[in-house]
Amino acid sequence: MSRTVVLVDAVRTPFGKAGSMYSGTRADDLMVRAMRGLLERNPKVAPSAIEDVAIAAATQTGDQGMNLGRSVSLLAGLPNTVPGYSVDRWCAGALTAMTSLAGAIAIGSIDIAIAGGVEHMGNHPIGDGIDPNPRFLAEKIVEQDALAMGATAERLHDRFPHLTKERADRYAYNSQMKTAAAYAAGKIQRDLIPTAARIPEMGWGIASVDEPPRPTTTMEGLATLKTPFRPAGRVTPGNSSGLNDGATAALLASEDKAKELGLTIKAKLVSYAFAGVEPEVMGYGPVPATIKALAKAGLTIADIGAFEVNEAFAVQVIAFLDHFGIADDDVRVNPYGGAIAVGHPLASSGIRLALNLARAFEEHPEVRYGLTTMCIGLGMGGSVIWENPHFSGGSK
């Protein structure tokens, strides 16, 4: 038995720079705000109708511990009859929360659920509290570079010398410009849930826009940035995503339940796949994951008319595009910009991709299929293929 799973809606908090505008805000409170905002936008869904909640975080200690799926549900005011669990697949946490719940919906064990992801990198810097097994390096299971994401991006440049720093900088510049244009057109703000923020020096305020974007970015400025992961390297803070705080939430349902309740349908899930690669080039993970997801859907890359690729590093995105013969500046890819501009609060980003793709579907009824994909630390990739419910015929 398999049922069609749909994305009803998705929202996110504005993303902040790590430890900046959310320095006085707990991670679980960011997640509560996103979840409440999602439910406020969908009043036809009674909180008691939610049958499961899966919330992701890459660092599950402190204010990101204590089973976020359950604790955040209670804090957000869901009835105590609604169960929940936490998810950890590092950067693909929210993506995995969606696919895990989708699997449960597809086989009929639940009808409607909330997926989410949060990362407060100000409270929990990358690697905080982890203790890698010494066998990883002692037995050469992985190279040292595998444990530093920026170093894996440098390795991608090594593997594909034609993916130059200039190309990476150009991609990063375009991401900033596309984000600025999307903000100017009001396309990003509509899905941001205004969120209380407290900075000790300034007191309380309301965050209503993303903090990280740099609309004044220039190619000349990008060319001068230091390469922190390798002397005379190619990966810089300008062509990478930043360290960020933020949360995302998505409402998933069976197609039948969505229609019964009169809910919007923003996208239909077609297939998904996760795949592994050498940990030293973890950024290449979206390539095999996408190949698997396409095969499961019986599609080819030519069938995909809209792409949301997480911009952990510019080189990682252009390596993906290069493999599939897609131009670095293809208009189908990340039309509202991406993580290089708005930020990448690790486990939350998968839902931001789905949210942006759903908006692209609305703007492009001629597009039938879209893809969300991202790389994952220690050598993985995750991809989801979605169908446009607004499809009106055409070639893609």
Q: What's the rounded Cα separation, in Å, for the pair 7 and 355?
A: 9
Q: What's the rounded Cα separation, in Å, for the pair 144 and 78?
A: 44
Relative orientation angle of helices 314-323 and 286-297, to the nearest 10 degrees: 40
Fill in the DSSP letter of residue 266. -
Catalytic residue among 120, 157, 344, 364: 344
Q: Evaluate whether 140 touches 189 at the Cβ level (below 8 Å).
A: no
What residues contact residue 169 under an 8 Å CB cut-off, 6+ apart? 219, 222, 223, 236, 238, 239, 314
What residues contact residue 216 under an 8 Å CB cut-off, 6+ apart? none
Annotated catalytic, 120? no
Annotated catalytic, 344? yes
Residue 166 CA neighbour count, 13 Å, CB half: 1
Annotated catalytic, 157? no
Q: Which two tokens stand for residue 227?
A: 């390469």
Q: Which amino acid is at 216?
A: T
Q: What is the DSSP code string of 122-167?
A: TTS-TTTT----THHHHTTSS-GGGG-HHHHHHHHHHH-TTS-HHH
Fill in the DSSP letter of residue 144. G
Catalytic residue among 91, 120, 124, 364: 91
User: How many C-beta atoms surround the C-beta of residue 48 within 10 A?
Assistant: 10
Q: What's the rounded Cα separation, in Å, for the pair 138 and 22?
A: 39
Q: Which residues are catalytic?
A: 91, 344, 375
